Amino acid sequence: MTNLPLLMKSLVDKDLRVRYKRSVLGFLWFLLKPLFSMVVYTVVFTRIIRFGGAIEHFSLFLLTGLLPWNFFSASLSASTRTLLDNHRLIRSVYFPRAALPIAAVLANAVHMLLAMLVLVLLLWAWGHAPSPALLSVLPALLFLCCMTSGLSLALSIWNVYYRDVAQFLEVLLLAWFYASPVIYPLGSDVLPTKVEAVIRMNPLSGVFEMLHSSMYYGNWPPLWCWISGAAWAAGLLLLGLAVFRRYEPSVVKEL
Amino acid sequence: MAATPGSVSFDGVGLDYRLYRDRNVTLMHTVMNLFGRGTSRSWFTALQDVSFRFEPGEAVALIGANGAGKSTCLKLLAGIYRPTLGTVSTAGRIASLLDLGVGFHPELTGSENVMLNGALLGLSQGEMKALMPGIASFAMLERFMDTPVKYYSAGMFMRLGFSLATSVDPDILLIDEVLAVGDASFQKRCHERIGGFRERGKTIVFVSHDPTAVKSLCERAVWLDSGRVRMDGPTGTVLEEYLASSGGRVQKHGAGITPREWGTREVFFERVSITDTGGTPASEFRPGEPVRVDTVISKVPGPPVDDVILGYSLHRPDGETVLSGNNLECGAPLLTVAGGMKASMLLKLAALEPGNYLLGISLTGNGTDYHWQDYMYTLSLLGERKPVPVKLESVEFRSDGT
């Protein structure tokens, strides 16, 4: 009965329309937030802690990681609340419930893609001209979207049963940010070898390495990134779907 | 499986709710339960072994006391709940008038909301665009379709909701209680439209407390009692039995409406007061001003009584039920009465037709009518000032000259 593509499109459309009502800068905020954090991190890591000095155009390097990270954390925070926020709708109409968290992820993905386009232009302007390796950005973002969707599905439905999930997520995201190669590179002497081995197990490491190497360095990403990214993407998406399917029939009675 | 569009079948349907006596659902709770400390989780059987089959074109009423499972049946039909046991099958498109306009987003305009709701109901954008003029004109909102719905009055909101729900050419129409949509003339058109569905052979499932409305719309009635089908047959016969068994408490239309109290009184209202939010006794309420019903509930000596349902119903002065509900339907915890306890309800009413209404409250549960206070309290709901569809953001006067 349900026309899923149309439903998704309508929900994403609604999200985008509603988000920037009464906002002067509108969509620009998705670009401005990472730009502000870029300025902060640049000052902290080149003037105060001084480790970013080794990387030329450190601010652009930061932006390559911060834009997708912002997508990841904003999507998870938004989708975790989405079933609770729409409880009246869920209690009165039937439609596939998974459409709600996925729509929250897709709306953020639209923003990220636009922001990434701007970033490619910025990199170009500072001498990081697009190379053929830039093509690997697309699979990297696909992996990231799959991981985000999988986690969103599980978190959104767990949050209905345990409201602690939303609180826990905030803390988790803070730790996860520093445990992922978002604002620092792997494979340099920034990290002790043992720490780096642990960080490589992080689901996000492969994806962020892919993005740094293809966008900033203009190199094809190493093989381990592809394997790790694809495996975590498939794994987390399947896990999320399984969790959602398990709880979906009874969730309406818990809202 | 039901194949002809418009057919409905329930086959041995059972539905359990998980109840929380205390809604603090946190991890701590679960951890406590793991150690066998918590006893807060229990199950409530809302429906048990319910079977019936409606053919396309039948208009069927579901009747029964508060908490008998009528609304639960509608939610199962709408696909919102899934049965714990048995199967529910329906064929064809379903329109539900359960909660009008609930999917509307305040920031979106009337037509944007119509498109979004169409997608939720599974209609293509082309189909919705074709339906749009009809939806706007039935709701009498042609000039306001590009206005965000947050500027709509409650009446406009409901009119759009009703118009949308009934414009999608459903095979099955679900109606909960009397439709209190808009003013008298709009209500008349709503009833005409529903009558039109009957004539065109659509299936109608109608939940109501009001015998007159049931008789005028439905030829068949299913009487639900404590989650089971007590009787299923022609409306006249079923209603007669139902009215006889409930001690005539469901008033015939137009009969003198007098406050009355009845029930087993194993659990009873010891004290009831109707107040405003501040706790001052009141009987007049402005639009949007919550009506607070404070009760002290007590019981006869003996073991505590679990799973007590606290209900309310609001009637016109002639006894017609306008709306009703209870803590079970709202997903609020059921009461456990061990000794004297306080319980309160906060009703936020938007009166589309200002005037006097009668409020009744009830304590039921476990298949027993503990204490009913029918038509006991008079509420005077004052009218709302119709909001203007255009809001003044600012105004500036300027003048030049010396």
Contacts with B391 from chain A: Cβ below 8 Å: none
pLDDT for B386: 56
CA distance B355 to chain A (A): 29
pLDDT band for position B37 (cuts 50, 70, 90): very low
pLDDT for B21: 53
pLDDT for B387: 56
Q: Is the pLDDT of residue A103 over 70?
A: yes
User: pLDDT tens for residues B276-303?
Assistant: 887 778 878 877 788 889 888 988 888 8
Contacts with B112 from chain A: Cβ below 8 Å: 14, 17
Contacts with B125 from chain A: Cβ below 8 Å: 6
pLDDT for A33: 81
A253 touches chain B (CB under 8 A): yes
Contacts with A82 from chain B: Cβ below 8 Å: none
A88 touches chain B (CB under 8 A): yes
User: pLDDT tens for residues B340-371?
Assistant: 888 888 888 877 777 788 899 999 887 788 88
Asked if the interface predicted TM-score (ipTM) of this complex is over 0.85, the answer is: no
- Give the range among A35-39, A184-188, B267-271, B333-337 with minimum mean pLDDT: A184-188
Query: Higher-confidence residue: B389 or B127?
Result: B127
pLDDT for B20: 59
User: pLDDT tens for residues B49-103?
Assistant: 999 999 998 999 998 887 788 888 998 998 888 898 999 998 888 888 877 777 7
User: pLDDT tens for residues A116-165?
Assistant: 998 999 899 988 888 899 999 999 999 999 999 999 999 999 999 888 89
Query: Higher-confidence residue: B20 or A122?
Result: A122
pLDDT for B31: 62
Question: Is B30 in contact with A162 (Cβ distance < 8 A)?
Answer: yes
Contacts with B81 from chain A: Cβ below 8 Å: 252-253
CB pairs under 8 A between A and B: 80
Q: Is the pLDDT of residue B248 over 70?
A: no
- Three-state SS string across chain A, please? CCCHHHHHHHHHHHHHHHHCCCCCCCCHHHHHHHHHHHHHHHHHHHHHCCCHHHCCCHHHHHHHHHHHHHHHHHHHHHHHHHHHHCHHHHCCCCCCCCHHHHHHHHHHHHHHHHHHHHHHHHHHHCCCCCCHHHHHHHHHHHHHHHHHHHHHHHHHHHHHHCCHHHHHHHHHHHHHHHHCCCCCCCCCCCCCHHHHHHHCCCHHHHHHHHHHHHHHHCCCCCHHHHHHHHHHHHHHHHHHHHHHHHHHHHHHHHC
Question: Is A3 in contact with B123 (Cβ distance < 8 A)?
Answer: yes
B24 touches chain A (CB under 8 A): no
CA distance B122 to chain A (A): 4
Question: Is B108 in contact with A18 (Cβ distance < 8 A)?
Answer: yes
Of residues B18, B25, B93, nearest to A253 (C-beta): B18
User: pLDDT tens for residues A160-205?
Assistant: 988 889 999 999 999 999 999 998 888 777 778 888 888 889 999 9
